[in-house]
Amino acid sequence: MKLIIIAILLFSYLFAHPHTFIDVYPTLIQKNGYVKQVDIKWLLDEMTSSMLIMEFDQNGNGKIDKKENKYIKDNYFMSLKDYSFYTYIKDRYKVGGFHAAIKKNRIEYSFALIPLKKTKVKGFYIDFYDEDFFVSMILKEKFVTQKIPHIVKDIDGDWFYGYKIIYK
């Protein structure tokens, strides 16, 4: 019986796939060669956004106001802390400055990652992925608009896929 249950669980796991696709726009803020913070913008896919807009825009005015922003942060965004916000850097950080908006019928989250210790820009990296493969984090070279030397690489984690940005 145990073997049958294990087989069913493994079979269902093989069919896991992303339910949400998030375009990631990172911006590194530096001072004197050290990372001050990383501003992150997430742009959620159209399908996920259309479902969330119905819940997020409680007054139906087509934008996210202060009360709605607090609701989103408390009930949606902060729950992602258990998943490290699908964002992994080599040092511990705190999250600040959360803001949600509706842009061209898509949900946009903006927030900052602030390192808790002094970290040099050279060699600093950020990984974006979801090991459970329910969310697909997408980072393309064209999403990085600043002129700080960097490379964007793919991460192939066998059962999940993601991206890494490394600053030179």
Does 116 map to a domain? Answer: yes
Structure letter (DSSP) for residue 110? E
Give the pLDDT score at 138. 97
Does 5 map to a domain? Answer: no
Please list, in sequence order, all residues whose beta carbon lies within 8 angstroms of the beta carbon of residue 49, skipping any fewer than 6 positions away: 102, 105, 106, 107
Does 123 map to a domain? Answer: yes
Distances (CA, A) of 68 to 42, 45, 160: 18, 20, 32
Query: pTM of whole model > 0.75?
Result: yes
Report, in angstroms and rounded to the nearest whole number, the Rg of the chain calculated over CA atoms: 18
Does 38 map to a domain? Answer: yes
> In this structure, what CATH number is given to the domain that contains residue 132?
2.70.170
Give the pLDDT score at 66. 96
| Nearest-angstrom CA–CA distance, 165 and 143 | 11
Give the pLDDT score at 114. 95
Does 4 map to a domain? Answer: no
| Nearest-angstrom CA–CA distance, 153 and 139 | 9
Number of domains in the chain: 1
- Taking the chain (168 residues) in consecutive chunks of 10 residues, what is each chunk's mean pLDDT? 47 63 97 96 97 94 96 96 93 94 97 95 96 93 95 91 96
AA identity, residue 102: I
Does 8 map to a domain? Answer: no
Does 11 map to a domain? Answer: no
Does 153 map to a domain? Answer: yes
- Domain hosting 132: range is 18-167
Contacts 24+ apart (CB under 8 A), 136-141: 136/18, 136/20, 136/21, 136/22, 136/161, 137/22, 137/24, 137/86, 137/162, 137/163, 138/21, 138/22, 138/23, 138/24, 138/163, 139/23, 139/24, 139/26, 139/163, 139/165, 140/23
Give the pLDDT score at 15. 52
